[in-house]
Amino acid sequence: MDRNQIIGILLIIAVLFLWNQFFFQPEMEEQRRKIHLQDSLKNLQPSSEIDSVAYPVIDSSNLLSSDTVPVASIPQRVEEKEYVLENERIRIRLSNKGGVIREAVIKDYRKSYGQKDEQQDMVPVRLMEDPKNVFEYRFQSQGKEYRTGNMMFEAEQSGDLLVRFTVTLDNGAKFSQQYSLLPGEYTLQHTITANGIEHSQPVQLHWENYLDKIEKNWEYERYNSTVYFKEKEQDPDYCSCRGDDKIESQEKRVQWISHSNQFFNSSLMAANGFSKGTYETILLNETDDNLKKLVSSLEIDGQELAGKSFEMKWYIGPNEYNRLKTFEVDLQYIIPYGWSIFGTVNRYIIRPLFNLLEDLVGAKGVIILLMTLIVKLLVFPLGYKMLHSQAKMTALKPEIDKLKSKFKDDLQKQQMETMKMYNEFGVNPLGGCFPLLLQMPIWIALYRFFPATIDFRQESFLWAPDLTAYDEFLKLPFSLPLFGESLSLFAFLWMVSTLVFSYYSSKTMDFSANPAMKYMQYLMPVIFWFMFNKTASGLTCYMFFSNILNIAQTLLGRYYLFDQEKIRAELELNKSKPKKQGGFRDRLEQMMKEQQRVAQEKAKQNKK
């Protein structure tokens, strides 16, 4: 590797670092600052909870028709009061002001962010609890627009599982909401009825939801939280997880909408679907108490409320794959297992394998070790081909070294003669790479599986207290860009084991065609270490175990699986066989000859 190549690699790394530090991050901070300023201005507006009678400001952009419609104010005849629906899994607090959910406490799960490691000091997960949240129905009656968010409903509760809210408008029309909690479930039946309103106009459901920081690795949680939705006869879709985004759904009915954190969600499903919807995610400042602000607006055809109820269903709880799947509306696709082939591998191969092992073994760390071993066994036929190719390269190495010595002053001639030798002995120098590429879908799928699977959440293994968060083995007295202020031991062990594996693998590889790759294979693990330092410890644990098995496989293959004498005899047999014309090696050899000819002509011109 010459000086120019080294300088080029260092310049690439420096440019990426400077771009991240001085262009990308300041731009993101400016966007976050603007959003934070907008939210602060909104918070300065008078709260409707202070006054006994609310007079909402008319916002023409939110009205249900293109005409200017006055917003009606309803005299408040009852005082605000809270009601509780509860079973063994969830406790839901509702208010008769707006007839809305004020908080949902998920009893079996604990919040990680801002809490100590001791389980007794951790509080239950709470969803839909932010006082800034808005959930209201907007509709028209006799030329006026009504918004349920400012209405005081009369409530009628029956036991711990059912409550009904009813409000009578100033024109005699009635609007009611009913909530019915299913025993032993996170599911809440939700029904609305509207008698006396204008059914020629749609009813708009407007929902603003501030997502709380729940996980220890809230930076990762931030980029795995968004609005999901499903249109009829379409696959589930979602707004961008990485920045502000807005999507309008106009053509097909919307079956459900979900405001989802990394491991928990609040989803609303309609039996007959909503007529259309608009979905928006707003990324909040990192210093904010919340991750994001999610805004969704759905429309219900007014004719569907004419003399009948509109039936919906809430799911407010954990992203448990099997539980979400039971709804049979593809709600399980809110779990970020990846797109295309990677999501398929996770859902239909990795997930069933995990379920099988979970029934046999309780410890999640042991399951990761077993999954690593099983995956290695499944891809061993590919690994065998890779080891066989490496064994051929090892047997051919003395001849390659002779060529390097013979043509040490002519790199192109050296490369051409080396390719000629590969062709002569029937060796593919890329034979060890193709099996590696074929395994990539499984590795990428596993990269998404561990951080997205709630079964690993707050499960400890060795020094890692939570397999879905990074392990803080060592707290640093400073913070490094991209790296953070703590050291993950699993990530560090992965980096070291990758360097060891690269060292053993490179002994059989020929870098004469591209000497820079010899050094890049050691530089890349160090670069990726910075990325993986704040990744889920379940993933880095798997990667470390996988490297240990790779090293063991390489050593066993080199010293016990393949006999060098037999490999040498196989190469000599290949040498004696007639060679096919027009193959890949011939084309590559011709290309290298042409490059050598062009180089020689340039050299002659320079001498003149």
Same domain for 391 and 306?
Answer: no
Residue 509: predicted pLDDT = 60
Q: How far is the C-alpha of 569 from the C-alpha of 575, rounded, in Å?
A: 10
Out of 303, 336, 369, pick the residue that ends a domain.
336
Question: Rounded to the nearest 5 degrees, what angle is found at the Cα of 473, between the Cα atoms of 471 and 475?
Answer: 110
List pLDDT tens digits, range 539-597: 889 889 988 888 887 777 777 777 667 777 777 776 666 656 555 556 656 666 666 66
Burial 382-391 (b: 16+ CB within 10 A, else e): ebeebbbbbb
- Residue 18 included in any domain: no
Instruction: Specify if 12 maps to a domain.
Output: no
Q: What is the pLDDT of residue 527?
A: 84
pLDDT on residue 106:
96
Q: Write down the number of H helices and E strands in the chain.
A: 16, 21
pLDDT confidence bin for 283, thresholds 50/70/90: very high
The answer to the question of residue 595 being in a domain is no
Q: What is the CATH number of the domain that holds 117?
A: 2.70.98.90
State the pLDDT confidence band at 53, using cuts at 50, 70 and 90.
Answer: very low
Query: What are residue 297's phi and psi, to 5 degrees?
Result: -125, 125
By the 8 A CB rule, do 198 and 302 touch? Answer: yes
| Total domains in the fold of the chain | 2
Q: Report, as an integer, the average pLDDT of 331-349.
A: 88
Within this chain, do residues 155 and 264 fall inside the same structural domain, yes or no? yes
Q: Is the pLDDT of residue 402 over 90?
A: no
Q: What is the per-residue pLDDT across 259-276, written as a single tens digit (0 to 9) for each?
A: 999 999 999 999 999 999
**Residue 246 φ then ψ, to 5°:** -145, 130
Q: Which of 336, 370, 389 is the endpoint of a domain?
A: 336
The residue range of the domain holding 410 is 380-438+457-589
Long-range Cβ contacts of 362-368 (<8 Å, 24+ apart): 363/461, 364/455, 364/456, 364/459, 364/461, 364/467, 364/538, 365/459, 365/460, 365/461, 365/462, 365/464, 365/467, 365/541, 366/461, 368/450, 368/461, 368/467, 368/538, 368/541, 368/542, 368/545
Let me know whether 332 and 391 are in one domain: no
What is the radius of gyration, based on Cα positions, of the chain? Answer: 31
Query: Do 310 and 385 reside in the same domain of the chain?
Result: no
Residue 518: both structure tokens together: 């010899």
| pLDDT of 5 higher than 70 | no
Mean pLDDT, all residues of the chain: 79
pTM above 0.85, yes or no: no
Same-domain pairing of 409 and 326 = no
Judge if 70 and 204 occupy the same domain. Answer: yes
Same domain assignment for residues 393 and 320: no
Choosing from 336, 367, 394, the residue where a domain stops is 336
Spatial CB neighbours of 598, under 8 Å, sequence gap ≥ 6: none
CB 210 within 8 A of CB 132: yes
Residue 199, pLDDT score:
80
Query: Is there a domain that residue 445 lies in?
Result: no
> Which residues, other chains included, contact 29 with Cβ-Cβ below 8 Å and sequence gap of 6+?
none
pLDDT in tens, 131-144: 999 999 998 887 78
Q: What angle do CA 293, 296, 300 make, to 5 degrees?
A: 160
| Structural domain includes residue 354 | no
User: Does 33 score more than 50 pLDDT?
Assistant: no
Let me know whether 316 and 427 are in one domain.
Answer: no
Q: Do 108 and 218 share a structural domain? A: yes
In-domain check, residue 404 = yes
Same domain, 237 and 180: yes
Angle (CA) 269 42 138, round 5°: 40
Indicate the pLDDT class of residue 239, thresholds 50, 70 and 90. very high
If you average pLDDT over residues 384-389, what whole number do you get?
A: 74
Q: Which residue has the tokens 């593809």?
A: 330
Give domain status of residue 344, yes or no.
no
184/107 same-domain check: yes
Which of 121-125, 182-186, 370-374, 426-430 has the lowest average pLDDT?
426-430
Q: Same domain for 293 and 433?
A: no
The amino acid occupying position 97 is K
Q: Which residue has the higher pLDDT, 450 or 313?
A: 313
- Looking at the domain assignment, is residue 327 inside a domain? yes
> Could you give the CA distance from residue 262 to residue 215 in angstroms, rounded to a whole number?
8
pLDDT digits (tens, 9 = 90+) for 294-316: 999 999 998 888 888 999 999 99
